[in-house]
Amino acid sequence: MDEGGGQPSAIDPHTPVGQVGERSLLQHLRSRIPQGTGVLVGIGDDAACVETTARTLITTDCLVEGVHFRREWTEPALLGRKALTVNLSDIAAMAGLPRYATVSLCLPADLPLSFVDGFYDGLLERAAETGVDVVGGNLSAAESRMVVEVALLGRTERPLLRSGARAGDLVVVTGTLGAAAAALHFLDRGVRWRGNGALEGADSYHQDARSCLVRCLRAQLDPAPPLAFGEALAEHDLVHAAADVSDGLSGDLLNLCQESNLSAWVDSSAIPVDSSAAALEKEGGENGFSLALHGGEDYELLMAVPPENLEALQKVALVWEVPLTAIGEFAAGPPTVAVRFGDTSRRLKPQSHDHFVDPLRERRSDPTRGS
């Protein structure tokens, strides 16, 4: 055990960060962060300096307390993992390889050091899993609510855009949809999932429901986008366009349509509604369909795939154990999305998550409210 008196690592974990101070906290965190191989200058200088190739991807995403998360809903390590993951998902959707991250934290002065350490435990674990080097960042006070901002650089030879879809391409999605959104309802009611797998506050649920809860809570608190599959798309010329499903299928598909100047339809019966989300919604008379359409935070990949490439793409997906589902088609026409229910078709009004309008709301509404 490191007991080196005066060493940053010897600070009592209960100390509020306001007492630790900006400089000591920086030094403390710096001592925890390994320097990666492509990192010429890491944390501690005015800027980091990293090795890059001819084309570099950049994305940035933030998690705001009270808007994107609640501190009592998540363990700090899971928050750290998610702060990186939401950016990893963006790089995967560009068919890129994630490389370097900066981490900016705005912290309320009364936040205990242990929370920041837990956050970094998770973030550095996720970084190690994905080959990302943490190269810099910033610490600041926040008045009362924590804000986490991660910027992530990635490498790419041939970025996969939102604007490349063509009429006739299939609408294809990875994984299942709705699980992350289903979890919000239960988090709001006091159910908790720990990073070690333990479920709390769920004693009143029967065993099947508890399994479903774990699956949905994990999807919300520790999402697992198909990163390796996304990166592999750069090697194969099989996909015309891609986006990650972060705001909800309805909004993200409409956005793909807008960027590609196409319309699209999806078959309601083909949408891969997460079975756990569906099971949990059953008691409320719902079936998870609305969550799958509008819930958001799925961090799956939405793609435009020429029909003749689907089989080959399925083989790539198999390698990475990523389920693929063709749910519809892109077509010529103004950017709109229609949902087909058997013989009828209704235009889909996007109800994707808008953080300005309704932070951390539950999203249950008529999935086909016409416009």
**Residue 347: DSSP 8-state:** E
Site for a copy of itself in 227-286 (CB under 8 A): 242-244, 251, 259
C-beta of 44 vs 307, nearer to a copy of itself: 44
Distances in Å between the Cα of 289 and the Cα atoms of 60, 224, 249, 286 are 30, 21, 11, 8
The answer for residues whose C-beta is within 8 angstroms of residue 27's C-beta and 6 or more apart is: 8
147 binds a copy of itself (CB under 8 A): yes
What is the contact mask toward a copy of itself in residues 51 to 80, using x (rule: CB under 8 A)? xxxxxxxxxxxx-xxxxx------------
Mention every residue, 6+ apart, whose C-beta is less than 8 A from residue 10: 2, 3, 4
Q: How far, in Å, CA of 199 to CA of 76, rounded?
A: 16
Position among 11, 82, 83, 102 found at the interface with a copy of itself (CB under 8 A): 102
Name the one residue in this structure whose structure tokens are 């103004």: 334
- Give the Cα separation of 256 and 350 in Å (integer): 13
Interface positions, 288-347, toward a copy of itself (CB under 8 A):
none
Residue 124 or 151: the one with the smaller Cβ distance to a copy of itself is: 151
Nearest CA-CA partner of 286 in 296, 297, 295, 278:
278
Residue 140 in the binding site for a copy of itself (CB under 8 A): yes
- Our CB check for a copy of itself shows the closer of 110 and 308 to be 110
Residue 14 binds to a copy of itself (criterion: CB under 8 A)? no
Burial class (CB in 10 A: 0-12, 13-18, 19+), 208: exposed
Q: How many CB atoms lie within 10 A of CB 371?
A: 8
* Residue 121 makes contact with a copy of itself by CB under 8 A: no
Q: Could you give the angle at which helices 179-188 and 275-282 cross, rounded to 10 degrees? A: 40
Minimum CB distance to a copy of itself, residue 87 (Å)? 8
44 binding a copy of itself? (CB under 8 A): yes
Residue 224 touching a copy of itself (CB under 8 A): no
DSSP string, 100-124: EEEEEEEEETTSBHHHHHHHHHHHH
Of positions 20, 79, 171, 277, contacts a copy of itself by CB under 8 A: 20
User: Least distance from C-beta 37 to a copy of itself, angstroms?
Assistant: 14
Quick one: 108 or 328, whose CB is closer to a copy of itself? 108
Q: How far apart are CA 162 and CA 276, in angstroms?
A: 30
Among 11, 33, 81, 100, binds a copy of itself (CB under 8 A): 100
Which residues within the stretch 150-169 sit at the binding site for a copy of itself (CB under 8 A)?
Answer: 151-154, 156, 159, 161-163
Smallest distance from a copy of itself to CB 3, Å? 22
Taking the least distance from each CB to a copy of itself, the nearer of 140 and 269 is 140
Q: Choose, by CB under 8 A, the member of 6, 14, 47, 72 that binds a copy of itself.
A: 47
Contact status: 141 vs a copy of itself (CB under 8 A): yes
